[in-house]
Structure 1
Amino acid sequence: MGYVTRIVIIGGGPGGYEAALVAAQLGAEVTVVDCDGLGGASVLTDCVPSKTLIATAEVMTTFDSSYEELGIIVADDTPPEQQAARVVGVDLGKVNARVKRLALAQSEDIATNVTRAGGRVVRGRASVSPQQAPDGSRTVRVTGPVGEAGGPGEPEELVADAVLVATGGSPRELPDAQPDGERILNWKQVYDLDELPEELIVVGSGVTGAEFAGAYQALGSRVTLVSSRDRVLPGEDPDAAAVLEDVFRRRGMNVMSRSRAQSAKRVGDRVEVTLNDGRVITGSHCLMAVGAVPNTRGIGLEEAGVRLTDSGHIWTDKVSRTSAPGIYAAGDCTGVFALASVAAMQGRIAMYHFLGETVAPLRLKTVSANVFTDPEIATVGYQQSDVDEGRIDARVMKLPLLRNPRAKMQGVRDGFVKLVCRPGTGIVVGGVVVAPRASELIHPISIAVDNNLTVEQIAKAFTVYPSLSGSIAEVARQLQASKPGGDD
């Protein structure tokens, strides 16, 4: 029998399971060690659940904001004086039951795909041996899950020619704002709620905070968003963040800028959040969305020679190698981009590299990302800040969606399309879309960035009339017309 390469993958999230599929297809012997279920936090407690919740919120928002303008009549025999302020409501218990059901089904589908491809899945927690064997292999020790009698399962030692660490991250917690799972929550715990929070305080205005704040406001909660910065989504395009903050405020959200939370404590059935300036705000529930920490401690990485950053993330190069021979890393534990798509790409690249296949290094400037608020914010490539701060010489053009005929028909008032291109060649190097389903609309811009297409090529491509995608071609035409030295 010929030699078979042995791969052990620690963590079954997107970086882990996508790597497992690639390695199995290339003939390696693959073992995935996972303690929660394949799909990881992305599928079980983060991306899939939150976007499922947001799908319900999106329907609510779309209906609330446009049913009268679109001429929809809601038949209701309830006397006007007894009607609630909203036309429609939500059963959060049913919503969360659906969220959990879909997440588990997705996890089971992933496990089936991995085992069908020839991979083995082991339930447990893994740690890496500090030394390599003379043949370059390493031992990964697996401690089984806790059994019914309360003790751990039998440990197992796996021999690996290469190890991929894809352990993800966990919610960051403040010392004086510890979640209790009932009134003070992190983003893993919100799906256990049976009733809609009457007054929800969201601490943190990054992507997670903004998404949950917008979703719960749409579902019917009165939301206060506490932001330590001068605007929501401080890491996103300023124009896009301004649109979203304006929408939040217009819909009734209390957005508290430049307000850093110091503590959160439960007082009976209420929560008190104390800010650094001494102000105290209260609500029925509080969601802590203050970032994540990598799951890299206690698994033998530093002892094995894996370099960790000050934040605890694993240092990797562009082909997912760590500083230790034979150990690769992918996903949120690397701190590259906290995106499932990036984790999956890192995992695939690692396997291609180790198994000797042709591999293209990770190109971060071709990564598209999306914030699932309403409206959505999608980005790819170089941004306005790169131009303003001199990191790239480029031209920028923005076109509001108010001028798009399809947007007018659908009652869409907020959003824009922005393109960034090189001044001489017109090659598209970045873009932003703020719109309903921006996650879908960003794709043609991503293709342009990845393939060095020009604004002229985008402008000449046919678009459906009327369509929101027509604004992408239109802003390309405007860039083409305003080209320095060209015909204006």
Structure 2
Amino acid sequence: MAVRTFDSIVIGTGPAGEGTAMKLAKANQRVAVIEAYDKVGGGCTHWGTIPSKALRHSIQMLADYRRNPLFQHTRDQVEVEFPDLLRAADSVIDHQVRTRYRYYQRNRVELLFGHARFVDPHRVQVQRPDGVAELIEAEHLVIATGSRPYHPPDVDFSHPRIHDSDSILKLAHTPRSLTIYGAGVIGCEYASIMACLDVKVNLVDTRDRLLSFLDNEITDALSYHLREQGVVIRHNESYERVEPSDDGVVLHCNSGKKLKTDALLWANGRSGNTEDLGLEAIGLEPNKRGQIEVDKSYRTELEHIFAVGDVAGPPALASASYDQGRFVGAVIADGNCDWSLIDEFPTGIYTVPEISSIGRTEHELTAEKIPYEVAQAHFKSIARAQITGHTVGMLKLLFHSETKAILGIHCFGEQASEIVHIGQAIMSQPGSANSIEYFAETTFNYPTMAEAYRVAALNGLNRLF
């Protein structure tokens, strides 16, 4: 079998693989990218971030319509099913695929569609859909194969009433009731989405509070609003077994509870896509969740092979994965990278309302004995929020009591994932440039949601003595 040679090979076209390939292409490397699916974009584009966030946007528009007094005479006549909302995401996905395909063409990156498998540390066999196999080799290789929902072996995911976060996007009807096992980011997002469709939702949390990595005040607000939407939250529960039948699914909990609903969404963990990659042929062994161990430069135990994105473990965010890919591309092309990945990056959670945060929480600052003060702005007092009708939520800034440096930004409400970036830009400034006084002394457009920073800053500074 003839072997084609490249400078670098990237396996996967999700954010991490794309970031790597584009960086290497800009460095004039000859790059081959292998994609197992028949379209570029990875799980982020086809089963994860893009479709679920497009779905959430459609849900928000429906909620806004029902709440708007202009449509009071017709709002009860509109019936929308889950598949109708999913179809709204199709055009976004198609556009994303076309855009990303053009990136590869414009940068002369060779795309190979098929299953990749290592033959030895420098060669990969690509099994194409038509059955033809091709062998390629390169000096450097990057594994960016992403992740998939974790499937415990005792749960029958082939049953039509049992879903994961991928298969739920193929749901052909709106269930009357749904149990979601796992109250992480994905579980909370889908609980919020389904509740807006008047689905009766049980959200089963294996811990004692939702999203414990967030600020307590934010998670308390999320819990309150989920319950307001009709979601029943069950903390400190774990499953004993899942019992599907023709008329529903029963989740048997170790506490003795039995939860029967039309369908079950399993949203408890993800696994790296490392099966059948031939890693045993090159001496790499993934951990029990299918993730590959890497160092701070994303090198594996083999110095010329890197792993980036979800397959390398946390944080498993599309934004961070793309940056990891660019970082590795620079390391490969230049031998080193003159910039480093940021330690603190924003978290965006697309519940209804949204959540976004960056930096430390009150709990963390208290544990570290750092003197801090709280600055708050409630959206109900912001003119732009009153105009749009999105008055639920708040902006919360944590800042050092003495230096006034911003230590944490926590936002709950519509457009939270956009609002947080304003504070992020100031928080990342060196020295005295990172100060809450910036927001008190800056003129914002009026009316805007950005004005919440000025309101919060004045609120916080007034607390100092």
Residue 481 and residue 302 in structure 1: after superposition, are their counterparts in 2 closer, same or farther (change >3 A)?
farther
Establish whether residue 27 from structure 1 lines up as the match of residue 28 from structure 2.
yes
Aligned residues: 456
Is 1:262 matched with 2:252?
no
Q: Which of 311-320 and 185-194 deviates more?
A: 311-320
AA partner of residue 32 (structure 2): T
Quote the Cα distance in structure 1 between the aligned partners of 2:405 and 2:203. Answer: 39
> Match of 2:341, SS?
coil
Instruction: Provide Cα deviations, 1:379-399, integer angstroms capped at 9, x if missing partner.
Output: 112223321321866444333
Corresponding residue SS for 2:85: helix
**Pair 1:308–1:384, CA change in 2 (3 A):** farther
Structure 1 residues 278 and 330, CA gap change in structure 2 (3 angstroms): same
**Which position in structure 2 is the counterpart of 1:107?**
97
Task: Look up the match of 2:124.
Answer: 140
Kept in 1: contact 2:376–2:455 (CA 8 A): no
Deviations 1:410-454 (A, max 9, x none): 443432111123343222232111110111101111111222321
Percent identity of the aligned residues?
25
- Superposed, 1:168-317 pairs within 5 Å as 168-180=146-158, 182-301=160-279, 303-306=281-284, 308-309=286-287, 311-317=289-295
CA drift at 1:60: 2.2
Q: What is the alpha-carbon distance in structure 1 between the residues aligned to residue 285 and residue 194 of structure 2?
A: 40
Higher alpha-carbon deviation: 289-298 or 471-480: 471-480
Query: What residue number does 2:44 align with?
Result: 42
- Following superposition, the deviation at residue 228 of structure 1 comes to 1.7
For residues 332 and 15 of structure 1, the distance between their equivalents in structure 2, rounded to whole angstroms, comes to: 8
SS at match of 1:161: strand
Residue identity opposite 1:143 in structure 2:
Q
For residue 451 of structure 2, what is the amino acid of its counterpart? G
Q: Write the letter of the residue equivalent to 1:28.
A: Q
Alpha-carbon contact 1:206-1:235 (below 8 Å) kept = no
Match of 2:338 in 1: 359
Number of the residue aligned with 1:126: 116
SS of 1:360 mapped into structure 2: coil
Change (3 A) 1:115 1:393: farther
Shift of 1:113: 1.6
Q: What is residue 11 of structure 1 aligned with on the other side?
A: 12
Q: What TM-score comes out, normalization by structure 2 length?
A: 0.91
For 1:32-111, what aligned pairs fall within 5 Å after superposition?
A: 32-36=33-37, 37-64=39-66, 66-67=67-68, 71-76=69-74, 86=76, 88-111=78-101
- Secondary structure in 2 matching 1:364: coil
- Kept in 2, the 8 Å contact 1:243–1:414? The answer is no
Q: TM-score, normalised by structure 1?
A: 0.87
CA distance in structure 2 between the aligned counterparts of 1:391 and 1:48, rounded to whole angstroms = 40
Amino acid at match of 1:457: Y
Structure 2 residue identity aligned to 1:94: D
Structure-2 separation of matches of 1:140 and 1:393: 54
Unaligned runs of 5+ in 1: 77-83, 132-137, 148-152
1:320 to 2:298 alignment: yes
Deviation at 1:154, TM superposition (A): 2.2
Aligned partner of 1:477 in structure 2 is 458
Question: How far 1:346 sits from its partner (Å)?
Answer: 0.2
Aligned partner of residue 155 in structure 2, secondary structure: coil
- Tell me the equivalent position of 1:426: 404
- 2: distance between equivalents of 1:201 and 1:50? 18
| Post-superposition CA distance 1:445-487 (Å, at most 9, x none) | 111122232111222221122322212122223333444xxxx
Cα separation, 1, equivalents of 2:398 and 2:284: 38
Deviation at 1:246, TM superposition (A): 0.5
Aligned AA for 1:125?
A: H
Deviates more, 1:268-277 or 1:173-182: 173-182
Query: What CA distance in whole angstroms lies between the structure 1 residues aligned with 2:207 and 2:438?
Result: 39
Paired residue secondary structure (2:78):
coil
Unaligned runs of 5+ in 2: none
Are the aligned partners of 1:226 and 1:261 in contact in 2 as well (CA < 8 Å)? no
